[in-house]
Structure 1
Amino acid sequence: MTTIAVPAGTRTSRSVVAGRVITALTTLFLAFDAATHLVRERHAVAFNDEIGAPDWFPVLCGAVMAVLLVAYHVRRTAVLGAILLTAYLGGATAVNIATGQPWGNVAFSVATGVAVWAGLWPRDERARTIL
């Protein structure tokens, strides 16, 4: 059996496909979350009321998330988008902890942040060189 040498630093097509699948799933979730905030879906508004945020806050959060998702998918700004998505999700984690939400909510926001990087890592050389 013959083996083919793969140069160091290159990714196999399987890892790139895995990165794209993770990115797609993460994007679907975050886009859905952004949309629920933008249209002021009742659960988003109820949580907003629970934490005492102003009425405009869910719409702003949804708009920020939508812009960050676009940045995450534009090749030139993908790393910046991932950094800013991680920061956004860090804020969500902090709000969940500060308002006494179930630890599952906290873990989910952290896991989503990890998924953002897990999707970008295999498909973007710049992401790998940064870290």
Structure 2
Amino acid sequence: MSTNAQRAGWIITVLVTLFLGFDIVTHLFRVEAVMDFNDKIGAPGWFPVVCGAVLGLSLIAYHVPAARAMGTILITAYLGGAVTVNLVFGQPAFNTVFAIATGVLVWAGAWPRDERLRALVSRGAAA
């Protein structure tokens, strides 16, 4: 990949990390808005903390070169769960689109920076 593509990947990664980092903090500290939604969907009180921890560990893996592919996939899966919850509980379409867009940006940030990730996906597509 070109240097410009790698720079763009880093910029996207920083922005995605800031957003997901904020989301992690709101879950771990059980911010009122998070807890209100948690109550709305009928999830147990511990659920946001587990979600924040899972997302936090996935985000750490996303930044470790040897674990980047796994981190990228785990964050994508987490966001897929967010999409499902939004659809099942009739949340505004923006919430669903935003979760999907975040997943796309996670990949857009990792793809130009990680040759191993590109190779892994290419090998999987060829199989």
Q: TM-score range by the shorter chain?
A: over 0.9
Structure 1 distance, partners of 2:113, 2:64, is 13
Match of residue 34, structure 1, among 18, 24, 40: 24
Give the structure 1 partner of residue 115 of structure 2. 125
CA root-mean-square deviation: 0.6
Structure 2 distance, partners of 1:130, 1:112, is 21
Give the structure 1 partner of residue 59 of structure 2. 69
Match of residue 94, structure 1, among 72, 84, 88: 84
Counterpart residue type for residue 93 of structure 2 = W
Give the structure 1 partner of residue 100 of structure 2. 110
Structure with greater Cα Rg: 1
Give the structure 2 partner of residue 24 of structure 1. 14
Residue 44 of structure 2 corresponds to residue 54 of structure 1: yes
Q: Which consecutive unaligned segments of at least 5 residues does structure 2 have?
A: 122-127
Residue 12 of structure 1 and its aligned partner are, at CA, apart by: 1.3
- Flag the structure with higher helix content: 2
Identical-residue share of aligned pairs (%): 55
TM-score by length of 2: 0.94
Structure 2 distance, partners of 1:57, 1:127, is 31
Counterpart residue type for residue 83 of structure 2 = T
TM-score by length of 1: 0.91
Counterpart residue type for residue 53 of structure 2 = A
Aligned length: 121
Counterpart residue type for residue 35 of structure 2 = V
